[in-house]
Amino acid sequence: MSDKQLNSDNIVLLKIHRNSSYELSQTIQNFNKMIIKEIEPTTKNINENIFDGDLSIIINELINLIFKGLNEGKDEEILKHHVLNYINNYKIISQEIYNWLSNNQNNSNSIYLLGYFIYYGIGTDSNKQKAFELYHKAAALENSVAQLVLIDAYILGKGVYKNYNLAFELSKKLADEECVCGINSLGYCYEEGIGTDINDQKAFELYQKAANLGDSNGIYNLAYCYYYGIGTDVNNQKAFQLHQKAANLGLHYAQYNLALKYENGDGVKKDIDKAIYWYKKSAEQENKVAQHKLKVLLKE
């Protein structure tokens, strides 16, 4: 999300609020352990090859797949595609998982995942209102994935009415729990004045903390701060280094902006080949602007 438009003449670092970590941090590893403990196997068969105990593991892995995708800032359609591919690799009909989830609403992970299936119409008809009811229910049960989704929804007004106060409260709660995604999101709240007063210094400090924990979006947002002097002095060299690091970690918006830098020679020697390389990397992740830029450069 950004309040500035990207264009081919000027470098504009894209500001984001998504909770993120390309590598699984210790916080996320601990969260995964929580998921494993939460899902208990039962005895009912899902089909002749997959038993409930096996399906519980699959549910766990699907939750982790979604959580990791959210952390990486993946496009929602790409993430949905990964989920469907994962299901297909196990040769399970998505409706079977949906039915199992519907009949096993005894923990927050199953509640959230059922909401995910309903939101995207996986194994059932899409019903976004019902999906968000389940997200809220899971979030009330302290489900971190559901809480991350709701932060995004409350800020963007996606599926729910915008509610900056709740976005701030959830971000602060997760940050207080040392969830790296919440730390980054709380930084965005302070930078933009979402549910709180604007405080550039706090935003910078939170981005720095998230970046130090290996959070790719925290690294990217920290680069943004150095580039524009938000909560710190302008330092283009530091901004470029951090921006490069975020791009290397796979953030498509960082890859796009890095390509833009190389194309225009902003803070780095102009290099069209490197610009094409990074536009391609971003385009492969369905970044539409990068796809357009790549077509234009390849035609020249």
Residue that finishes a domain, picked among 128, 162, 196: 162
Q: Please say whether the beta carbons of 214 and 72 come within 8 A.
A: no
**β-sheet bridge partners, residue 55:** none
**How far apart are the C-alpha atoms of 151 and 24, rounded to whole Å?**
20
Same structural domain for residues 104 and 198? no
- Residue 64's domain is classified under what CATH number? 1.25.40.10
**How far, in whole angstroms, is CA 171 from its chain's centroid?**
14
The sign of the dihedral angle between the CA atoms of 82, 84, 85, 86 is positive
In a domain, 121, yes or no: yes
Domain co-membership, 153 together with 61: yes
**Domain presence at residue 8:** no
Q: What is the pLDDT of residues 155-196, one digit of tens each?
A: 998 888 899 999 999 999 999 998 888 999 999 999 999 999
Residues 109, 186 share a domain? no
Per the domain annotation, does 21 fall within a domain?
no
- Note whether residue 202 is domain-resident: yes
Q: What's the confidence (pLDDT) of residue 216?
A: 87
- Tell me, yes or no, whether 149 and 190 share the same domain: no
Phi, psi of 51 (to 5 degrees): -95, 165
Please compute the mean of the pLDDT values over residues 240-264 and round it to a whole number. Answer: 92
Read off the tokens for 99. Answer: 């039915």
Residues 230 and 284 reside in one and the same domain: no
Residue 41: the pLDDT is 35
Verify that 279 and 222 share a domain, yes or no: no
Same domain assignment for residues 177 and 128: no
Task: Round to whole Å and give the CA distance between 258 and 163.
Answer: 33
**Cβ proximity of 158 and 152 under 8 Å:** yes
Q: Residue 118: which H helix or E strand, with range?
A: helix 108-120
Is residue 281 located within the same domain as residue 256?
yes
Give the orientation angle of helix 252-264 with respect to helix 272-283, to 10 degrees: 160
Q: What is the rounded distance in angstroms from the CA atom of residue 269 to the CA atom of residue 230?
A: 25
- The answer to whether residue 110 is domain-embedded is yes
Per the listing, tokens 């519980």 go with 56
Same domain, 56 and 157: yes
115 Cβ contact partners less than 8 Å away, ≥ 6 residues apart = 130, 131, 132, 133, 134, 135, 138, 146
- Identify whether 105 is part of a domain: yes
Domain count, the chain: 3
Question: pLDDT digits over 42-101, tens only?
Answer: 333 444 445 556 788 888 899 999 988 876 667 788 889 999 999 999 888 899 899 999
Half-sphere exposure of residue 205: CA atoms within 13 angstroms, side-chain side: 6
- Look up the domain containing 294 and give its range: 250-299
The residue among 225 and 71 whose pLDDT is bigger is 225
- Among the candidates 248, 272, 289, a domain finishes at 248
Instruction: Classify residue 281: in a domain, yes or no.
Output: yes
pTM for this predicted structure: 0.76
Among candidate residues 150, 203, 151, 144, the one with its CA nearest the CA of residue 178: 144
Q: What is the dihedral of CA 110, 40, 148, 7, to 10 degrees?
A: -80
Alpha-carbon gap, residue 167 to 144, rounded angstroms: 13
Angstrom distance (rounded) from CA 225 to CA 18: 16
Q: What CA–CA distance (Å, rounded) separates 34 from 209?
A: 23
State the maximum Cα–Cα separation within the chain, in Å, rounded to a whole number. Answer: 63
**Residues 144 and 61 grouped into a single domain:** yes
Domain boundary among 125, 145, 162: 162
Mean per-residue pLDDT, 215-228 = 93
- 122 and 188 housed in the same domain: no
Q: Are 235 and 242 in contact (CB under 8 A)?
A: no
pLDDT at residue 10 in the model = 38
**pLDDT of 203 above 60:** yes
Would you call 13 helix, strand, or coil by DSSP? coil
- At residue 78, the pLDDT reads 83
Amino acid, res. 121: G
Let me know whether 128 and 73 are in one domain.
Answer: yes
Q: What is the pLDDT of residue 65?
A: 92
224 within some domain: yes
| DSSP-derived secondary structure for 48-75 | SS-BHHHHHHHHHHHHHHHHHHHHTT--
